[in-house]
Amino acid sequence: MILADTYIEEFRSMAPNSSVAAPSGSRAQRRQDIIGTFAHALDCHRHGLLAEAQKGYRLVLKKRPDHFDTLHMLGVSEKQLGNHDAAMRWIKRALLVDPKSAAAHSNLGSLLMDMRRFEEATASCDMAIRLDPGFVDAHYNRGNALSSLGHFIDAITSFRNAVAINPQHVNAHNNCGNALHKTRQFAEAIACYDQAIALDPSYAAAYSNRGAALIELHRTDEAILDLDRALALVPGNAEAWANRGEALLRCHRHHEALASCDRALEINPKSELAWLGRARALIASRRMPEAKNACHEVLAIEPMSVKGLSLLGQCHAFQADTDYAIACLDKALSIDPECEDVLANRIFWLDFSAKADVACHQAARADWWRAIGSKEAQRASLLHANDRDPDRRLVVGYVSAEFKRRSAAYSYRPVFENCDKAQFEVVCYSNSPTSDAVTETFRQFADRWRDVSQWSDDQLVDCIQRDRIDILIDLSGHAEGNRLRVFARKPAPIQVTAWGHAAGTGLPTIDYLFSDPVAIPSEVRHHYAEKIYDLPCMIGIESPPKNSRSGFPPISQNGFLTYGVFNRVSKFSDEAIAVWSNVLSADPASKLIVKDQMLDDDETRSLLLGRFQANGVDPDRISLRGTTVREAHLAAFSEVDICLDPFPHGGGVSTWEALQMGVPVVAKLGNSLTSRVSSAILSAIGLTDWVVTEDSKYFEIARHPTRTQLEALRRDLPSLIDRRCGPLSYTRAVEDAYREMWRRYCSA
């Protein structure tokens, strides 16, 4: 988040040069004239009458060309007017007269800052400090120069030196907070902003900056209050409006966030921060054309914008242009190899790439560990005092941002609902700022519920330890809202990643990954940081609502096959669309239903139909469906005979939903975990004949099912699922795993 630059030039009260001898007679009169003229000019300067001040300074110099204070102040006035070259000439002339003036060296440093010559600025400030170690402005200017160079640790030292000399230096407190923010020392940054506000309660920039730090600590409610305070003081503060948009976006208040960012852009059309916020809000609102335009505005302002490139990549990825997306992310990482957001996005979107295999996926996760996780691990020195009794009741903690109406929640809610409370105590750490009816069910299943959405990592780590968690479960992987920084610090003796985004994290501090032999075969397990623990299937799912399933496939009534793809459009590779188009072309009577929330966006709809049309399929044969409530989503399967799984990134919960509704799924087994999940699910319930490894086999199975076969599957699939992977039996397998993990730990 971009922070307010509150640099304000302050002037020292300058007396005439004391080295001038005290003459007599007419010389004394001339000296008095010089003193009077200089004093008047300096008074005009202090009152902002720069033109009048400069006239006076020049009158002095006509009489005394080597008058140090006049040369110095004339340079300062030119700096204030933005005349950098002229300012440089005058200040350097002053330093020729008095090369030991700490004030002149400090102001030269400030001027060089304005000219973006930051290394020279630092050198000038260093000289000032050598001449006068107690000169507060030199320390302050040095901090600003070092911050501009990205040397934030050294900048913090300079700002702290400034406030040690002058504890009332409000700007030094604020800018020290900015440097601390940049080094992710958010609590310390807030303390600096607190001090700045205590000294000056009308300091709008400090409120805005404190709001930005509070956002990073997940304290979005407090952040919005601070940003509103900043805007009450300075309604035209574009940066505060943009930061407010970011806070609202973190609360999933997308339309309000967009309005705040637009207000910032009315004030400053060149605000990179506001354009970034606008792009994120538009992506969240599924308005892809406008989001891409916003990203291009960012890149027009700053062609090397890491966040702009990352967001542009996301826009293309959501529309299934994965190669372009990865190229954007790679370019961003070439600029900043340790940008956490970009590293996480690259992990996520590589799962959709036909060119990436298990080794590539896990290498990307290892990159995140080296850049981010390993540094968090170095900070930790946690001891686990948990009682090592192998048979006692265990305390299991679950960390997720999706204890709500999301597909991931349907995969792991049965484990909560069917938990054996005699053996396990359940603690939920919810990292979502919003809740719904599904959230309330999780609350009921939990023994203890913690809303950690506005907690810092330190707070969450401390709470996990106080709760004496024996086994801590990550349910997010690298998806949005994860707390992997906390898992990197190993607050619990056993840590597991599962279900929500169960493709591995790359964290050596996470002990286990729940999976199965089809999803992760033995020959690739060495690529994972975690030890693989096999369940009946890598993910399960809860039972569907009663009476949600139709009794017969639609072909029984309409006489033609209807195919369905109820997956993210971003998973639709060109290869998959080519196979699906061949299936449709082989039977001109067949239809296709595609359902995804991204199809709320007109451009995405148009692009998708164009891809089918390029493969010879009439768009009129394709029905596109967008966002619906879950009940309507499940009901739509009654219109489908066969679901077609995308590749290389296949379905997960969507595959389970189809099977529960009695609809078989054709799946292609690939060479990465995300290309094998559907095949793992089908194998877990015994439908291995619907799993293929070649496009030709995919075509044959999709093209030639019999009506009798489809009717039998519609009738028998739900009971088959319940026998092999039903919620109760699946939960017991998970709890057996927890007990085995704990016993291994106790015996180690």
CB atoms within 10 A of CB 581: 18
Instruction: For residues 176 and 156, give the distance between their C-alpha atoms in angstroms, rounded to a whole number.
Output: 5
Identity of residue 79: K
Closest CA to 658 of 535, 502, 548: 548
3-state helix vs strand vs coil in the chain, percent to 5? 60, 5, 35
Instruction: For residues 495 and 485, give the distance between their C-alpha atoms in angstroms, rounded to a whole number.
Output: 13
Closest CA to 264 of 284, 281, 239: 239
> Could you give the domains of the chain?
303-371 (1.25.40.10), 394-534 (3.40.50.11380), 555-725 (3.40.50.2000)
CB atoms within 10 A of CB 160: 18
Instruction: For residues 24 and 18, give the distance between their C-alpha atoms in angstroms, rounded to a whole number.
Output: 16
Sheet holding 494-497, edge to edge: 448-451, 424-430, 394-400, 471-474, 494-497, 512-515, 531-534
Average pLDDT for consecutive 10-residue bins of the chain (748 residues)?
30 35 56 81 86 86 85 87 89 89 88 89 91 91 91 94 96 96 88 97 96 89 96 95 93 90 96 94 89 96 95 91 94 94 94 91 97 91 90 98 92 96 98 90 97 87 96 95 95 96 94 97 97 96 86 92 95 95 96 94 92 96 94 95 95 95 96 94 96 97 93 92 92 98 96
Instruction: For residues 485 and 344, give the distance between their C-alpha atoms in angstroms, rounded to a whole number.
Output: 12
CB atoms within 10 A of CB 153: 12
Sheet holding 562-565, edge to edge: 622-625, 591-595, 562-565, 642-644, 665-668, 691-692
Instruction: For residues 483 and 693, give the distance between their C-alpha atoms in angstroms, rounded to a whole number.
Output: 36
Identity of residue 281: A
**Between vectors from CA 418 to CA 412 and to CA 423, what angle results, nearest 5°?**
110
Omega prior to 536 cis, within 30 of 0? no
CB atoms within 10 A of CB 709: 12
Contact 243, 208 (CB under 8 A): yes
Identity of residue 375: K
pLDDT at 437: 94
pLDDT at 27: 66
Contact 599, 319 (CB under 8 A): no
Contact 737, 550 (CB under 8 A): no
Q: Is 706 helix (H, G, I), strand (E, B) or coil?
A: coil
Contact 68, 35 (CB under 8 A): no
pLDDT at 26: 62
Instruction: For residues 217 and 319, give the distance between their C-alpha atoms in angstroms, rounded to a whole number.
Output: 32
Residue 130, CA atoms < 13 Å, CB-side half-sphere? 9
Q: Is 472 helix (H, G, I), strand (E, B) or coil?
A: strand
Instruction: For residues 563 and 688, give the distance between their C-alpha atoms in angstroms, rounded to a whole number.
Output: 20
Dihedral sign (CA 371, 372, 378, 379): positive
Identity of residue 36: G
Query: What's 695's DSSP letter?
Result: H
pLDDT at 32: 76
Identity of residue 72: H
